[in-house]
Every structure is written in C-alpha cells, then in structure tokens.
Amino acid sequence: MTIFSDIGRYLLMIKGMFARPENGKMYWKELIHQCTEIGFGSLGIVAIISVFIGAVSTIQTAYQLVSPLIPPSTIAQIVRDTVVLEFAPTLVCIVLAGVAGSRIASELGNMRVSEQIDALEIMGIKTKTYLVLPKVIAALIMIPLLVVIAMALGIWGGRLAGVASGIIDGYTYDRGLKEFFDPYTIKFALTKSYVFAFIISSVPAFYGYFVKGGALEIGRASTKAVVVSCILILLFDYILSALLLPT
C-alpha cells in the first residue's frame, strides 16, 4: 500500500525537520527569504481574488434576498460572514496551494534531481531542517496574514460592488457590517488558515523532497502536490467546521 508508506515517510520528514540548526544566522536568512517568497509572491493574486469574491458575494446575496421584509443591511452581514468564514480562508488557501505549493514542490524537486540536496547532505547540513522547516514556518507566519488581508479586501470589494450597482448604499453596508458580529468567526477562520498553511507548505515539500527521476517527474510531483493539498484543505475545512462551529 503506497498510501501508508507515503504517510509514514511524510511523518518521518516532519519529525526530521526538528533538529538543531548548524548556523542560526543562515537559517534566519533562509526564513526571511521564504517569508518574502510566500508572502509577497502571492499578495497580488490574493488581492485580486478577494476583491472579486466580495463583489460577487454582494451581488448574489442581493439576488437571492428579494423579500421587502428583509432589511438591506442584512446583505452586508451575509457578505461579511461568508467572506470571513469560508471565502477568505478556504478559497485563498486553495489558490495558494496552486501558487506557493507548486513553487515549493518544484524548487525542492529540482534540488533533488540535480543532486543539490545530496551536495548539502555531504557538506553536513541537515537538509530537512534547512530546506523544509523555513518553508513551513514562513507559511505559518505569512498565510494567516494573507487571509486577514483577504478578509478586509473581500469585504471592501463587496461594498464597492454594492454601491456601484446601486444594491446598497455605503452607509447601510457599513452599518450592516457591525450588526450581529461574532468575533469567534475570525478566530475560527484563523485556526483554519494555520491548518491550511501547514498543509500548503509541508505536503508540497514532501512531494518535492522525495522526487525520483528527472524534469518530467518534477512536473508530476508538483501537480500531485497541488491536487493532494487541495483535497486535504477541503477535507480539513469540513472536519474543522464540524468540530468547531456551534450549530
């Protein structure tokens, strides 16, 4: 059963990440580098997606709420909650699995295939610690930040679209945002984004680190890394919602 041996090797890789760095300064430099790559490298696409998601949410919510009995400020509430609870963390992380995940898998895959990982091992460097751990930590720092930015931009995008199409005026939208606001939704979304960040960094790292073969296999590994990461994100989205959301 390859799936069980894969899970075993994945867990061993995670365990192998935690070792004493040979030189703290070099590891710190690598961490900063990864934070830049993951954070700024994905900021543009995250911003675009969030604004449009918010905009579409407003228009579709308005379309579905046709009753005159429902006050228009309800639209803002619904947009706020869907963006915060689901769109910002889950959709953004699915996109990040594609953007950052495939980059991690192909970077490590290339290093494996061209023997750069072997070269580091020969120098006496613990490659799981030096190559994988900074990526995982960088993801845990940057991805929740990106998710918070996505929340703000999504809600702002919803306001833009609402005002532009005359569905709701800015004042009513802002008032709606403050109605029935439960800070727990933010906490829940952040919990999800930490779990997703771990998936997006460690799963592609696993597929990249253990690539065998050549350029073709690097491509396959990064595709597989993205697919598996997306499935795991959706699975954990379900599990965490079932466990943590009071119904």
Partner 1 sequence: MIEVKNIQKSFDGKIIIQDVSAVMKAGQCNLIIGASGSGKTVLMKCMVGLFDPDHGSILYGGHDFTAMEGRDKTEIRKEIGMLFQGSALFDSQNVEQNIMFPLSMFTDWTYKKKLDRVNEVLNRVNLPDVNRKFPAELSGGMKKRVALAQAIVLNPKYLFATNPIQGSILKPPSSSTNSSKRSRSNIISLL
Coil, helix or strand at residue 175: helix
Residues 119, 120, 126, 129, CA torsion sign = negative
Q: What minimum distance in Å lies between the beta carbon of 132 and partner 1?
A: 16
* Site membership for partner 1, residue 32 (CB under 8 A): no
Q: Which stretch binds partner 1 (CB under 8 A): 90-98, 114-122, 152-160, 225-233?
A: 114-122
Which of residues 122, 216, 242, 243 is near partner 1 by CB under 8 A?
122
Distance in angstroms (rounded) separating the CA atoms of residues 184 and 189: 9
* Site membership for partner 1, residue 22 (CB under 8 A): yes
* Site membership for partner 1, residue 31 (CB under 8 A): no
Residues 93, 96, 102, 107, CA torsion sign = negative
Instruction: Please count the other Cβ atoms lying within 10 Å of the Cβ belonging to residue 40.
Output: 11
Residue given tokens 């199409």 in the structure block: 165
Which of residues 4, 63, 68, 124 is near partner 1 by CB under 8 A?
124
Q: Which stretch binds partner 1 (CB under 8 A): 69-77, 110-118, 143-151, 228-236?
A: 110-118
Q: Which stretch binds partner 1 (CB under 8 A): 18-26, 144-152, 193-201, 231-239?
A: 18-26
Nearer residue to partner 1 within complex by CB, 125 or 160: 125
Which of residues 36, 64, 114, 165 is near partner 1 by CB under 8 A?
114
Distance in angstroms (rounded) separating the CA atoms of residues 129 and 17: 4
Q: What angle do CA 2, 210, 113 make, to 5 degrees?
A: 135
Provide the CB-side half-sphere exposure for 133 (13 A, CA).
17
Nearer residue to partner 1 within complex by CB, 1 or 122: 122
Residues 225, 193, 96, 15, CA torsion sign = negative
* Site membership for partner 1, residue 125 (CB under 8 A): yes
Contacting residues toward partner 1, per CB under 8 A? 22-23, 25-26, 110-111, 114-116, 118-119, 121-126
